[in-house]
Amino acid sequence: MARYAQEWGVKPELEVFDMGQVGIASRLVRKGLVDGDPLFQFCLGIDGGAAASAESIMALKSMIPANAVWAAFGISVHEMPMVAQAVLLGGNVRVGLEDNLYLERGVLAKNGQLVEKAARIVRDLGATVLSPADARRKLGLKQQLRKAA
């Protein structure tokens, strides 16, 4: 699959749920099967995986290649606390309905509301929310093609 991603010019998101998976993903990087700076996504708070904690983030972060870009997310009630932890530990964040359905206890969210809440946390912690174009540059992705008029 990694060879296909390279052939098709797709940058893989290396989602890892525990330390063993970081090792497997890092092996792909060492073998030259991931082009450019790899993107690791730490998936936290999922049963059987890494806990949603600063300690888990630090342990996972310590294992990834030096040139890696990383982000972290927590599922369910851990989503926004892990936004804060990732920012405080120098990483990037991901939020969305795939990981959490609620804006707050008992209040169903819309995806945009989760993004707005996360962006507010990021800014409140003194970090920058990237535009889509800036995020593409940071990740080494092709710039989005313009739609024909």
Q: pLDDT, tens digit, for every residue of 7-58? A: 998 999 999 999 999 999 999 999 999 999 999 999 999 999 999 999 999 9
Q: How confident is the model at residue 142 (pLDDT cuts 50, 70, 90)?
A: confident
Position 73 in a domain: yes
Position 147 in a domain: no
pLDDT of residue 35: 93
Q: What is the four-CA torsion angle of 20, 45, 78, 128, rounded to 10 degrees? A: 10
The 3-state DSSP class for residue 18 equals: coil
Token pair belonging to 85: 């932890």
Position 101 in a domain: yes
Where in the sequence is the domain holding 103, given as residue range(s)? 2-136
**pLDDT tens digits for range 50-93:** 999 999 999 999 999 999 999 999 999 999 999 999 999 999 99
Position 81 in a domain: yes
User: Using N-to-C axis directions, what is the helix angle for 111-124 and 79-88, rounded to 10°?
Assistant: 30
Position 56 in a domain: yes
Position 93 in a domain: yes
Domains of the chain: total: 1
Position 22 in a domain: yes
Label the pairing between strands 13-16 and 39-44.
parallel
pTM: 0.91
Position 149 in a domain: no
